[in-house]
Amino acid sequence: MSAQTVPDYEAQLNAILEQCHTATLDASIPDASALPEGFTGTLGHFPVYFPDEIAHAAGLLPVNILGGGNKLEMKHADARMGSFVCSICRSTTELGLNGTLAGLTGFVTHPICDAAKHLAGIWSRNLPDQMSEILYLPQNPNSPGAARYVAAEYQRLRAELAHKVGHPISDAAIRSSIRLYNKKRRLIRDLYRIRSDEPWKLSCSESYMLVRAGTRITCEAHIELLEQALTAIRHRHVAAQDKPRVVFVGGFCEQPPLEMLETLDDACFIVDDDLLIGQRWFTQDVPEDVGDPVWALAESYIERSHASPVQHDERKPKGDYLMAMLREGKADAAILTAAKFCEPGLDEQLFWSKDLDEAGIQYLVLEFEEKMTSFEQMSMQVETFAESLLFALA
């Protein structure tokens, strides 16, 4: 009888993180000819939120287009977009013009800001063979009729995708996709629970990579990856360090470079954040066994979603959700970031800072760009901030 071997969880986790790290740095999209069975193409969508379930049910792999990171060389977009437009819109345009996104079946953007809306026009002028459009998610979720409007918009999208793939998208297929995505979102919530309860076991940059990996692979594969990762993380033996607990906000659309998150991790425990918030948009499961699955998605969007700087919702007053994140994460302070030239982010950053001033909570203001490559100065700022917090808390 042989002794049962204990899995090397650390090695497993390292391998998963390495795979996610590679995926995070790669702005390309999966090749349509190499997609898993059941998928016939890829549907690109701009942040913040997109109903992945509808694309998934159509047999299109939803791919969250998250810009070009800090390795992309800009050859075309500089001549097509003013210098005062945010990096993610400029690099997305570059990826469209340089052929990186040529394999997409379609590209969908949203009315999260004016620059993002312009991407649909840019796409139609330069990639006329690709389906490109604006999914008009509402900026008024409070008036009666909002869920009905969202459902109609989703049905329109469903019809267009069905036309594109050449077959109808059944309710049963959407229900099945909802079940899968609910499971995925539950696993992501588990990751964030670990971040809050035992932040020394999982850093912000690690959890970010694990979530981001799901923007390039099928939901099924991502669930498997997350389950393996969570098991390994739970078995991780890492001693808690003396670091302040902070909340990070401002990463809801343009993505901060991985090196920036690692710099923050070095000095703080980031117990909550709004990175890739669209991947875990719903605060509860979308109802699974209902008559109309599109209605379930639409109603969840209106009634059970996270707050974001790019959506006005009178039930989610500005500042309140940051306070809730701080309270629930038992955080000592906040890191308030905004992407350069991001109007919603920069305006929200000011709101946040005024609220924190009023509440007497410490915060650090940072501005970033996805293309930034130097982090020394930021590192010094963050270290000083963390030390001052530790000193104040001692």
Partner 1 sequence: MTTAIAEAVPGTSRSAPAAKEIWTPFNAHSEGQRLFKEWYATLETANERREPVANVFVMGNAIEILRSFDFHMVFPEINSLQSGVRKTSAEFIRISEDYGMSPDVCSYVKADVGMMLKEEKEPLGKMPKPDLSVSSNMCGTFIKWAEIWERRHKMPSFVLDLPGQRSSSWVVRPGDAQHSADSRWVEDQFKDLIAKCEKITGKRFDIDRLAEIQGRVNQMVIHWNNVMELNRTCPAPYNAMLDGLTYIGIMNVYRGTVEGVEYMRRLEEDVRAKVARGEGRVPEERFRLLFSGTPCYVSMRRLVELFETWGGVFAYSDYLTFAAGGMDAAELLYDTSRPLESLAEVTALAAQRGLSNQFFAHERMEKQIKDYGVDGVVFHGIKSCRFVSAGMADTRDYISKRLDIPTLYIESDLIDPRYWSDAQIKNRVDAFFEALQQRGGAGPLKGKATHAQGRTA
- Binding region for partner 1 (CB under 8 A): 79-82, 84-85, 89, 93, 111-115, 117-118, 120-122, 124-126, 128, 131-136, 138-140, 142-146, 148-149, 152-153, 156, 310, 312, 314, 318, 338, 340-341, 343-344, 346-351, 353-354, 367
Provide the minimum distance between the beta carbon of 346 and partner 1 in the complex, in angstroms, as a whole number. 4
Residue 247 C-beta: closest distance to partner 1, Å: 19
Residue with Cβ nearer partner 1 (238 or 350): 350
Under a CB-based contact definition with an 8 Å cutoff, are residues 183 and 77 in contact? no
Question: CB of residue 129 vs partner 1: minimum separation in angstroms?
Answer: 12
Shortest approach of partner 1 to residue 159 CB, angstroms?
11
Q: Given the complex with partner 1, which of 68 and 344 has the nearer CB atom?
A: 344
Cβ 233 to partner 1 shortest distance, Å: 37
Which of 116, 219 has the CB closer to partner 1? 116
Closer CB to partner 1, 146 or 331, in the complex = 146
Q: Rounded to the nearest whole angstrom, what is the least distance from the CB of residue 231 to partner 1 in the complex?
A: 42
Phi-psi region of 311 (alpha: psi -120 to 50; beta: other; left: phi over 0): beta
Measured from the CB atom, is 293 or 344 closer to partner 1? 344
Q: Measured from the CB of residue 289, what is the shortest distance to partner 1 in angstroms?
A: 27
Give the C-alpha separation, 113 to 254, whole Å. 12
Smallest separation (angstroms) from partner 1 to the CB of 125: 5
Name which of 193 and 354 has its Cβ closer to partner 1.
354
Question: Would you give the distance in Å from CA 266 to the centre of its chain?
Answer: 22
Q: Which of 300, 274, 297, 287 is nearest to 56 (CA)?
A: 297
Comparing CB distances to partner 1, the nearer of 295 and 351 is 351
Between CA 386 and CA 384 the distance in angstroms is: 5
Nearer to partner 1, 128 or 291 (CB): 128
